[in-house]
């Protein structure tokens, strides 16, 4: 996922090789002709071109009935549709003994099928809290990072997960309530490329949960139940346990089939308009890096409002792996005519802001380093921890004494073309506005009553080795605007509210 590569909290993946490496189909043999489930499974693999023959598949196995059944179905068909498989299991360490029991079951399955097992244990709750993510976001990031690295180790082209038709229906309803438009109604893709040459496949997407469980029973498979799946604390669980049964009972017993059909039709609609969206993307979007995307507005307003909305959705989906609600898309559209500097929080770690005739989509850095230093041009914008900072040349008549400490003006010609922005050091000295001599920056912080633990939050702007702005506090006397100033540099610090999280309906 973009923005989360090389996570510092990565745990070592443990490879567990089976003791019995010679086990063949033997006792797992299945009568293909007499098993409609396997016939449908093989037909689905072939007709939908989910895999290429003789490739490698990493199977995500949690220990639940769906993933255990998927492992068994793939194992039993691997000679009919030739491929090689291995198992991947991530212990989230969320449910104590239950999580450990899940891990033990997966180890037993790996030995039973004589398959290589990739295992990782990560405290997902701790990871999410450390990086200011909700639990679902944190789990997803850790999970896909684990899958990516395990697939590289196995040289796998495919990662198989056990999402099914019930999951698809739940996802469509969930996205419908969020107002995510056609992109959300598409639901879960049966196959999508998550990185170059690596595909995520869901071979069970055309099977209901009931079909899968019946297959597991017929095969005498052993699985575990996740107690958290029964908790009504989570919206998806309420959809599965309360809403869908109500819809089946009182409205339409075929609701699962209809919702899956809706997802399929939405994907067809998306496919039809995708060429237009891609054309707009190529013309108006610049991918500066994995955390910063630029949307050029000039000329975009002439296009259909629906296409603009889909373009905004595609920018966020492609680069940040998120879906926007209808309300957030409308907020983004309002940015088109907003004043420069206007910010919209899209997700907890993602925001967009207006800068002249452009909108920038920026993802907050995941790790807040205690020591940070960057070199930037004299004019431009950048992200510093929880702020957007913009430096621009402005007309002389715009200069004023602003009471906002986050808005300051400087003599443009006294500032070097390339400046350093960094955190403070013990040796730093500074000439505060109104003073003639430099003082220790640490003394200045004390005078300003800045807590010790917050000193790193203030950006220091350095020109040719001299601090000209302690961002949010004071500028240097030597860089102030005077009667002799010919050009003015304006600095603005825009604080962002990362606590806003559009996770509700």
pLDDT tens digit sequence for 447-467: 998 877 678 889 999 999 999
Residue 94 exposed, middle or buried by CB count within 10 Å (0-12, 13-18, 19+):
middle
Question: How far is 33 from 52, CA to CA, in rounded Å?
Answer: 23
Distance of CA 383 to the CA centre of its chain: 18
Question: How far is 304 from 285, CA to CA, in rounded Å?
Answer: 17
Q: What per-residue confidence (pLDDT) applies to 453?
A: 64
CATH of the domain spanning 14-164+202-251: 3.40.50.620
User: pLDDT (tens digit, 9 = 90+) per residue, 368-413?
Assistant: 444 578 888 899 887 777 678 889 999 998 898 888 889 999 999 9
Question: How far is 57 from 83, CA to CA, in rounded Å?
Answer: 7
Contacts for 467 with CB less than 8 Å, ≥ 6 apart: 428, 429, 430, 441, 460, 461, 476
User: pLDDT (tens digit, 9 = 90+) per residue, 205-225?
Assistant: 999 999 999 999 999 999 999
Q: What per-residue confidence (pLDDT) applies to 3?
A: 42
Query: Does 3.40.225.10 match the CATH number of domain 373-495?
Result: no
Any idea which of 18-22, 235-239, 241-245, 435-439 has the lowest mean pLDDT? 18-22
Q: How far is CA 337 from CA 183, 186, 302, 329, in A?
A: 25, 30, 14, 14
**Mean of the per-residue pLDDT values of the chain:** 87
Residue ranges covered by each domain of the chain: 14-164+202-251, 271-363, 373-495
Contacts for 398 with CB less than 8 Å, ≥ 6 apart: 488, 490
Contacts for 227 with CB less than 8 Å, ≥ 6 apart: 95, 98
Question: How far is 494 from 353, CA to CA, in rounded Å?
Answer: 10
Question: Residue 470 is encoded by which pair of tokens?
Answer: 């302690």
User: What is the sign, positive or negative, of the torsion defined by CA atoms of 278, 177, 164, 58?
Assistant: positive
Q: Which residue has the tokens 């196959």?
A: 191
Q: Quote helix, strand, coil % in the chain, to nearest 5.
A: 40, 25, 35
Question: How far is 405 from 414, CA to CA, in rounded Å?
Answer: 21
User: pLDDT (tens digit, 9 = 90+) per residue, 288-298?
Assistant: 776 779 999 99
The DSSP bridge pattern shows strands 350-355 and 418-422 to be: unpaired
**Residue 503: pLDDT band by 50, 70, 90 thresholds?**
very low
The DSSP bridge pattern shows strands 343-347 and 292-296 to be: unpaired
Q: Which of 130-144, 436-450, 485-499 has the highest mean pLDDT?
A: 436-450
Q: What per-residue confidence (pLDDT) applies to 495?
A: 75
Best CA proximity match to 209, nearest among 245, 177, 163: 163
Q: What per-residue confidence (pLDDT) applies to 203?
A: 96
Complete DSSP assignment for 230-276: G-TTSHHHHIIIIIHHHHHHHT-TTHHHHHHHHHHHHHHHHHHHHHH
Question: Residue 356 is encoded by which pair of tokens?
Answer: 């002249």
User: pLDDT (tens digit, 9 = 90+) per residue, 248-267?
Assistant: 999 999 999 999 999 999 99
Residue 401: how many other CB atoms lie within 10 Å: 8
**Would the pLDDT of 44 be above 70?**
yes
Q: What per-residue confidence (pLDDT) applies to 244?
A: 95
**Would the pLDDT of 498 be above 50?**
no
On whether the CB atoms of residues 88 and 147 are closer than 8 A, the answer is yes
Question: Residue 305 is encoded by which pair of tokens?
Answer: 């409002």
Q: Which residue has the tokens 């050029």?
A: 296
Task: Answer yes or no: same fold for 14-164+202-251 and 271-363.
Answer: no
Percent of the chain residues topping a pLDDT of 90: 57
Best CA proximity match to 359, nearest among 438, 292, 451: 292
**Would the pLDDT of 5 be above 50?**
no
Best CA proximity match to 398, nearest among 281, 489, 304: 489
Contacts for 81 with CB less than 8 Å, ≥ 6 apart: 42, 45, 46, 51, 53
User: pLDDT (tens digit, 9 = 90+) per residue, 11-42?
Assistant: 688 888 887 665 554 455 566 656 899 999 99
Q: What per-residue confidence (pLDDT) applies to 500?
A: 42
Give the H/E segment covering residue 39: helix 36-47
Residues 420-458 as b/e (b if ≥16 CB within 10 A, e otherwise) read: bbbbbeeebebbbeeeeebeebbebbeeeebeeeeebbb
Residue 356 exposed, middle or buried by CB count within 10 Å (0-12, 13-18, 19+):
exposed
Question: How far is 188 from 145, CA to CA, in rounded Å?
Answer: 19
On whether the CB atoms of residues 148 and 158 are closer than 8 A, the answer is no
Question: How far is 359 from 339, CA to CA, in rounded Å?
Answer: 11
Q: What per-residue confidence (pLDDT) applies to 22?
A: 54
**Residue 133: pLDDT band by 50, 70, 90 thresholds?**
confident
The CATH number fitting domain 271-363, selected from 1.10.287.950, 1.10.579.10, 3.40.50.1000, 3.30.465.60: 3.30.465.60
């Amino acid at each position: 996922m973009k923005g989360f590569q090389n996570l510092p909290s990565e745990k070592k993946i443990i490879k567990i090789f089976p003791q019995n490496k010679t086990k063949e189909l033997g006792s797992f043999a299945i009568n293909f002709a007499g098993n409609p489930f396997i016939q449908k499974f093989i037909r689905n693999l072939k007709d939908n071109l989910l895999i290429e023959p003789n490739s490698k598949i990493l199977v995500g196995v949690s220990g639940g009935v769906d993933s255990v059944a998927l492992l068994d179905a793939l194992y039993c068909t691997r000679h009919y549709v030739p491929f090689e498989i291995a198992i991947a299991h991530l212990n989230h360490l969320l449910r104590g003994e239950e999580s450990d029991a899940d891990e033990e079951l997966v180890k037993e399955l790996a030995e039973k099928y004589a398959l290589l097992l990739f295992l990782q244990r990560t405290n997902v709750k701790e990871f999410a809290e450390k990086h200011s993510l909700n639990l679902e976001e944190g789990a997803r990031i850790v999970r896909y990072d684990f899958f990516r690295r395990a697939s590289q180790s196995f040289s796998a082209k495919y990662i198989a997960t056990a999402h099914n038709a019930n999951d698809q229906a739940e996802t469509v309803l969930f996205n419908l309530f969020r107002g995510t438009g056609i992109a959300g109604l598409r639901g879960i893709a049966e196959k999508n490329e998550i990185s170059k040459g690596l595909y995520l496949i869901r071979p069970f997407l055309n099977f209901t949960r009931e079909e899968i469980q019946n297959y597991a029973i017929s095969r005498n498979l052993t699985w575990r139940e996740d107690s958290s799946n029964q908790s009504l604390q989570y919206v998806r669980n309420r959809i599965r346990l309360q809403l869908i049964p109500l819809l089946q009972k009182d409205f339409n017993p075929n609701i699962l089939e209809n919702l899956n059909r809706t997802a399929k039709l939405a994907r067809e609609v998306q496919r039809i308009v995708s060429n237009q969206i891609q054309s707009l993307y190529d013309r108006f979007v610049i991918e500066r890096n994995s955390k910063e995307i630029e949307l050029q507005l000039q000329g975009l307003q002439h296009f259909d409002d629906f296409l603009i909305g889909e373009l905004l959705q595609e920018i966020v989906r492609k680069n940040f792996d998120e879906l926007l609600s209808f309300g957030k898309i409308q907020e983004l559209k309002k940015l088109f005519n907003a004043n420069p500097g206007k910010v919209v929080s899209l997700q907890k770690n993602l925001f967009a802001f207006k800068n002249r005739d452009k909108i920038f989509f920026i993802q907050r850095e995941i790790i807040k380093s205690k020591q940070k230093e960057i070199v930037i041009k004299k004019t431009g914008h950048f992200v510093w921890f929880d702020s957007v900072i913009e430096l621009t040349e402005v007309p002389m008549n715009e200069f004023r004494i602003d009471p906002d400490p986050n808005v300051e003006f400087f003599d443009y010609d006294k500032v070097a073309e390339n400046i350093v922005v960094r955190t403070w050091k013990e040796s730093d000295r500074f000439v505060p506005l109104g003073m003639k001599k430099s003082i220790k920056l640490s003394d200045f912080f004390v005078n300003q009553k800045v807590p010790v633990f917050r000193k790193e939050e203030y950006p220091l702007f350095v020109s040719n080795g001299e601090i000209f702005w302690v961002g949010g506090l004071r500028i240097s006397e030597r860089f102030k605007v005077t009667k002799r100033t010919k050009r003015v540099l304006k600095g603005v610090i825009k604080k962002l509210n990362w606590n806003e999280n559009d996770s509700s309906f």
